[in-house]
Amino acid sequence: MTSKLLRGRTLSFLRWPEATDDHAAWRYEKDGGLLIDNGTIIAAGPYAEVAKRAGAGVETIDHRPHLLLPGFIDAHVHFPQMQVIASYGAELLDWLNKYTFPEETKFRNAQHGRRIARLFLDEMLRHGTTTVAAYCSVHKSSAEAFFAESHDRNMLNIAGKVMMDRNAPDGVLDTPQTGYDDTKALIAEWHGKGRQLYAITPRFAITSSPEQMEMATALCREYPDLHMQTHLSENHAEIAFTQELYPWSRDYTDIYEHYGLLGRKSLFGHCIHLSEREADALSQSGSVAVFCPTSNLFLGSGLFDYQRYRRREKPLRIAAATDVGGGTNYSMLRTMDEGYKVIALNGEKLNPFQSFWQLTRGNAEALSVADRVGTLNEGTDADIVVLNAHATPAMRLRMETVETLAEELFLLQTLGDDRAVREVYVAGQPAKSTIAA
Ligand SMILES: [Zn+2]
């Protein structure tokens, strides 16, 4: 039998919550039920109603008193950087040259790629993340390893081989032609296979020659439905070097604009130091600015002005992400905790409902996959995280004084990590408890 019924407190968002009393923005059931059939949520609501619809004989998994939410989404992460995380003492460009590029060179070895892809997706699931937008290394085999592992687990993931043909060691360079050919071959093999989605991935303007940028343009024209992901405006030295390499450009964003890379499926990591013109250009094209708080703090890159971007006359679409290995934690809970602090340093707040909207539905909307994941809506894929706010002694103690759902969510965000993730379901199948130790 492929049906199962999950029972617990269910929380799913309908839209951005304006305030903690904006109850119309979410659906919360104190005793909720989710009926899953063949990987899809086919009924959601009060447990009693859903159980009636399920009928007798359906396997019921009782997760009370825990919270059931849509699986978390990480909108920007580098799977080949698991052994780069926690590398000391450098800003972006030095960090890339000293740690990241040498590490990514190891992915010439396909077996290394397969091992890290497996461990990476284990780590994602352990932390409650069911969908990522991932950068692979420059090597075609790294993307093959990632997609094969993701497909085996039936995860909905977006990924791409990075295209980079200059300003890095030979071991991590392609050429405009091989970058194009490998990308096309990977799209043909993996895009739309099961739940796999391909993202055209020029690493950033520094490591792509104008000839390679033209190849990225060609790919985006040939495959207008695909995602495009890259980096933008992370660090002052990066911005200055980029402008030297493209002296004709008005600003950093103008380079991507010139090559036709802006659009609703375009994901720009960081976007910290944007001018008003750049922010307008991103807004008008519907491009997504990806907020990577742990990375931005760790590398000393700057403070992403979340609330200003959201409220400006031409608002930005925003996603949130770990950016591991520049980021310092795999957990989207830890990420939003640091995000809260970055926003606080800008003199603003992000309330807990807004935070949990962001890492579920908000990120799904930003990645244009909200019709499939990011909510507990009927007809969507059953990617679900089960959260336990009593996971540690310190959390249990603090929970003694917690009275509202908002307080519980904020506690989960502030003190929670993988220990607070009791279980994860991927397309209806338990995926955390089944990871080999
Ligand atoms: Zn990145």
Q: 62 alpha carbon to ligand 1 midpoint, in Å?
A: 38
Query: Separation of 407 CA from ligand 1 center, angstroms?
Result: 32
Under 8 Å between Cβ of 143 and 136: yes
Cβ contact 355:343 at 8 Å: no
C-alpha of residue 269 to centroid of ligand 1, in Å: 6
pLDDT above 60 for 1: no
The average pLDDT across 14-34 equals 97
Reported as type and span, the H/E element at residue 385 is: strand 384-387
Residue 393 CA, ligand 1 centroid: distance in Å = 34
The per-residue pLDDT for range 113-134, each reduced to its tens digit, is: 999 999 999 999 999 999 999 9
Handedness of CA 322, 323, 325, 328 (dihedral sign): negative
What is the spatial distance between Cα 382 and Cα 375, in angstroms, rounded to a whole number? 9
| Distance in angstroms (rounded) separating the CA atoms of residues 130 and 143 | 18
Ligand 1 midpoint to CA 200 (Å):
14
Distance 292 CA to ligand 1 centre (A): 8
Supply 50's token pair: 């859903």
Mean predicted confidence (pLDDT) in 24-52: 98
Find the 23 Cα to ligand 1 centroid distance in Å: 35
DSSP conformational letter for 330: S
Query: Could you tell me the distance, in angstroms and rounded to a whole number, from the CA of residue 311 to the centre of ligand 1?
Result: 25
- Binning pLDDT at 50, 70 and 90, where does residue 2 land? confident
Residue (of 351, 413, 414, 419) closest to 390 by Cα position: 419
Percentage, residues of the chain above pLDDT 90: 98
Tokens linked to 257: 């604009």
CA distance 45 to 42: 11
Distance 57 CA to ligand 1 centre (A): 47
At residue 71, what is the residue type? Answer: G
How many angstroms does the Cα of residue 270 sit away from the middle of ligand 1? 8
For 254-305, the pLDDT digits (tens) are 999 999 999 999 999 999 999 999 999 999 999 999 999 999 999 999 999 9
Residue 192 Cα to ligand 1 middle (Å):
24
pLDDT single digits (tens) 348-359: 999 999 999 999
Residue 204 Cα, ligand 1 centroid: separation in angstroms?
9
Contact, 99 vs 81, CB < 8 A?
A: no
Distance between Cα 129 and ligand 1 center (Å): 17
Query: 36 alpha carbon to ligand 1 midpoint, in Å?
Result: 35
Residue 271 and residue 45: Cα distance in Å, rounded?
Answer: 39
User: pTM here?
Assistant: 0.98
CA of residue 428 to ligand 1 center, whole Å:
30
The band of 437, judged by pLDDT with boundaries at 50, 70 and 90, is: low
Residue 191 CA to ligand 1 center (angstroms) comes to 22
Question: Ligand 1 centre and the CA of 160: distance in Å?
Answer: 13
Confidence class for position 436, pLDDT limits 50, 70, 90: confident
> What are the start-end ranges of the H helices in 37-162?
47-54, 92-95, 101-105, 110-126, 140-152
SS3 288: strand
What is the whole-number distance in angstroms between the Cα of residue 85 and the centre of ligand 1? Answer: 12
Provide the 8-state DSSP code for 71.
P
Alpha-helical (H) ranges within 198-271 are 210-222, 236-245, 252-258
Which tens digit of pLDDT belongs to each residue from 172-195? 999 999 999 999 999 999 999 999
* CA 104 – ligand 1 centroid, Å: 13
When computed from its CA atoms, the radius of gyration of the chain, rounded to whole angstroms, is 21
Task: Please compute the mean of the pLDDT values over residues 188-211 and round it to a whole number.
Answer: 98
Q: Which amino acid, 116?
A: I
Q: Which residues of 381-415 are buried (b: 16+ CB within 10 A; e: fewer)?
A: bbbbbbbbbbbeeebeebbeeeeebbbbbbbbbbb
Q: How far is the CA of 76 from the centre of ligand 1 (A)?
A: 6
What separation in Å is there between the alpha carbon of 300 and the centre of ligand 1?
14
Report the separation in Å between the CA atom of 231 and the middle of ligand 1, taken as the mean of its atom positions: 6
Asked which of 32-41, 84-93, 134-143, 195-204 is least confident by mean pLDDT, the reply is: 84-93
For 310-343, how does the pLDDT look when each residue is reduced to its tens digit (9 = 90+)?
999 999 999 999 999 999 999 999 999 999 999 9
Q: Give residues with Cβ within 8 angstroms of 60, minimum separation 6.
A: 4, 5, 6, 7, 51, 54
Question: In terms of Cα–Cα distance, which of 344, 340, 378 is closest to 359?
Answer: 340
* Residue 30 CA, distance from chain mean position: 28
What's the CA-to-centroid distance between 29 and ligand 1, angstroms?
37
Tokens describing residue 261: 């890379």
Write down the pLDDT at residue 147: 98
Structure tokens at 428: 């209806």
